[in-house]
Amino acid sequence: MSTDSVSKVSWDEIPLEALSPKIGRKLVTGDRVMLAHVYLDKGAIVPLHQHDNEQITYILKGKLRFWFGEDLSEVVDVNEGEVLHIPSNVWHKAEALEDTLDVDIFSPPRQDWLDGTDAYLRDQD
């Protein structure tokens, strides 16, 4: 068995990327999947967006409120210990109702997150 492509990392070794005053993240990326720790202060907003990437969100701590659809007509609260699946190309927005740490899994990896073109997260006060 070859272990040339096997890697191990500690979250403590990954620098926190500050995206806005209330949102930060750490990324671990493979060829076909991305794992992220997303840190959101209470009141942080993830603006309305969509992406081709399938997403699974697991709340380790805190609580997020999601709105779905271009008209934001569906509302779902996701609490600590709960998991949310967002299919490809579904419009969504989120707000941290508490200080929150979530784990996001994307397949394929988010290219905009890798190359820094995710302006919807960065262009906030």
Q: Which fold has domain 29-122?
A: Jelly Rolls (2.60.120)
Which residue, chain included where needed, has tokens 């969504």? 92
Q: Which of 112, 72, 76 is nearest to 92 (CA)?
A: 72
pLDDT tens digits for range 32-42 = 999 999 999 99
Burial of 2 (0-12, 13-18, 19+ CB in 10 A): exposed
| For the chain, percent of residues with pLDDT exceeding 90 | 90
